[in-house]
Chain A
Amino acid sequence: MLFSRGVDHPPPEAEDDPHAHWPERLVRLGQTLGAAGSRERREALGEFWGILHLALLRYARAHARRIGRLSPDDVLDIVSEKASDLIARLDLKEWDPGASTPALLRSFLSTTARNGVVDALRAGRREVLVGDDLEPRGGRGIESATQEDAVRVDEFVRALLGCLAVLSARARRAWFLRVFYDFSSAEIARHPDVSTSPAGVDAMLARCREHVRSCMNLKGIGFGELPAGTFVRLWELTERDRAALGAGR
């Protein structure tokens, strides 16, 4: 488990949430893609790709949980394949999400993901319990409730943000990708917000770790573990506010 706090309720089944915004957004982006200039199209396509990927992942995991067992890597492969195929069909004007309705688009993506899962199972891919993938892979150093007992999360986050503020936006981004998303150095190096060599990432992260550790120690707060709730607070303050952390580009 990534966080120490007990799970009060089982995670919800991946049923369609009628209040979801992303299907409508995909339809709108589909309409934009049909009429946009090259620059707008590029921006719209980037957002479309991200949401499409998330939606297919969500459906592929749900179907895999119901109809078979696939490894997390297999699910990712299926989704990448399907997403790439859909984008290619979009380019060739063989698929027009802008002409669809949000409900139809959901149904189409769910079917697409299901077909991918079924094909993969038929092809006899390695069977591994997929339910594990529903829980995020372990983030580094985010574990214990003892920290939370000693220091209030808000205080911890404020102190952490103060320490992170000294770092460059690029270094902060690299640190965030490693600590919360467990990205490898090669993945961080490829990230558009960082864009450097894996060796450069390693050096950058070593400096970050050292700085954050000593800075937090100066503030009287140990930095061995991140209390539950830290990610959401940092995400609120950093991911949403790109000017603070993610606006390295």
Chain B
Amino acid sequence: MNDHVSEDRLIDLAAGLVPGGESESLLAHLRGCASCESRFVGVCRDLERTKLRTAPSRSRLVAIGAVAVLAAAILVAVVLIPILRSSRYVDPSAYWLPVEEETVDLRAAPPGVDEAVFAEAAEAYRRHDPARVVALLTGKTIPSSHDPLKLLQASALLKTADPISALAVLESLHVESLPQPYRDRAQWIRLGALRAAGRDAEAEALAADIASRSGEFARAARSQSGRPSRKNPAQ
């Protein structure tokens, strides 16, 4: 036991690079040499530590997954949602009014108004059930306190292939007098109804007007300009 095992040989041994017979003589030395054994422990420890640096832990994998999900969410938020929104806006008949953002204030309803029906209609619209909205509101007199509900009704009528009725509801709304953002939204539904009704000249003029403003639908209206009308198949 005159010669200690070199550090190079300890590395070889720990890394499994020493052939059987040769390793036996090294191990025989280590078994009897506390100094070499303790250095060998150190090399083995170092080797094990390298595994910690290369192998992702379960929690790290979870963290990586969370980052990936976050990145995907950001991608959806930054890229996909605007694309989806723009495509939705490009087609007025596919546009859904944001009901959550504008609650229908039934508290201001005059006496005798069937509040429950109006609330149910708003809820049906929120569920994207235009046929139910139309069924609930057809024949009902909607007071001016519920103008936002008329917008929902017009949108639902457009979606159920009744652009003429949609235009009539919008007419009663006096769109130009509505505050923003209701005015822009009403105009957008009106544009869809005009196109669906085959009133291309009026639609073109309205699209140009919306495009010339800086409202919510200006960009979508610009892409609408010059577009051929989409006749309602029901007509």
A in complex with B: yes
Question: Could you say which of A8, A50, A235, A239 contacts B1, with CB atoms under 8 Å apart?
Answer: A8
Q: Does B37 lie within 8 Å of A3, measured CB to CB?
A: yes
Q: Which residue of B lies closest to A242 (CB)?
A: B16
Known A-B contacts A51-B15, A180-B41; the reply to A232 vs B34 at CB < 8 A is no
B7 CB contacts on chain A under 8 angstroms: 12, 14, 17, 58
Question: Could you say which of B12, B31, B41, B59 contacts A139, with CB atoms under 8 Å apart?
Answer: B41
Q: Does A181 lie within 8 Å of B39, measured CB to CB?
A: no
Partner-binding segment picked from A88-96, A119-127, A161-169, A189-197: A189-197
Chain A interface residues (CB < 8 Å from chain B) = 1-9, 11-12, 14-17, 19-22, 25, 46-47, 49-51, 53-55, 57-58, 76, 80, 134-137, 139, 153, 177, 180-183, 187, 189-193, 195-197, 228-229, 231-233, 235-236, 239-240
Shortest Cβ-Cβ A-B pairs, 6 listed: A5-B34, A20-B8, A136-B42, A17-B8, A192-B55, A3-B34
Q: Does A22 lie within 8 Å of B8, measured CB to CB?
A: yes
Question: Could you say which of A5, A80, A181 contacts B44, with CB atoms under 8 Å apart?
Answer: A181
Question: Could you say which of A2, A80, A236, A240 contacts B38, with CB atoms under 8 Å apart?
Answer: A2
Q: Does A22 lie within 8 Å of B17, measured CB to CB?
A: yes
Total A-B pairs, Cβ < 8 A: 151
Q: Does A195 lie within 8 Å of B58, measured CB to CB?
A: yes
Q: Does B15 lie within 8 Å of A54, measured CB to CB?
A: yes
Q: Does B9 lie within 8 Å of A20, measured CB to CB?
A: yes
Interface of B, secondary structure class, is helix
Q: Which residue of B lies closest to A51 (CB)?
A: B15
Q: Does A231 lie within 8 Å of B6, measured CB to CB?
A: no
CB within 8 Å of A: which of B1-39? 1-9, 11-12, 14-18, 27, 30-39
Q: Does B57 lie within 8 Å of A54, measured CB to CB?
A: no
Q: Does A189 lie within 8 Å of B35, measured CB to CB?
A: no
Q: How far apart sit A181 and B40, CA to CA, in the bound complex (Å)? A: 11
Q: How far apart sit A137 and B36, CA to CA, in the bound complex (Å)? A: 14
* Interface: B52 (CB within 8 A): yes
Q: Does A181 lie within 8 Å of B8, measured CB to CB?
A: no
Q: Does B51 lie within 8 Å of A228, measured CB to CB?
A: no
Question: Could you say which of A4, A49, A177 contacts B50, with CB atoms under 8 Å apart?
Answer: A49
Instruction: Give min CB distance, A197 to chain B, whole Å.
Output: 7
Q: Does B52 lie within 8 Å of A187, measured CB to CB?
A: yes
Can you list 16 A-B contacts with CB-CB less than 8 angstroms, sorted by A residue number?
A9-B2, A17-B6, A19-B8, A20-B6, A20-B8, A21-B17, A49-B53, A53-B47, A53-B49, A53-B50, A58-B7, A58-B8, A137-B42, A137-B45, A181-B41, A195-B58
Q: How far apart sit A3 and B30, CA to CA, in the bound complex (Å)? A: 12
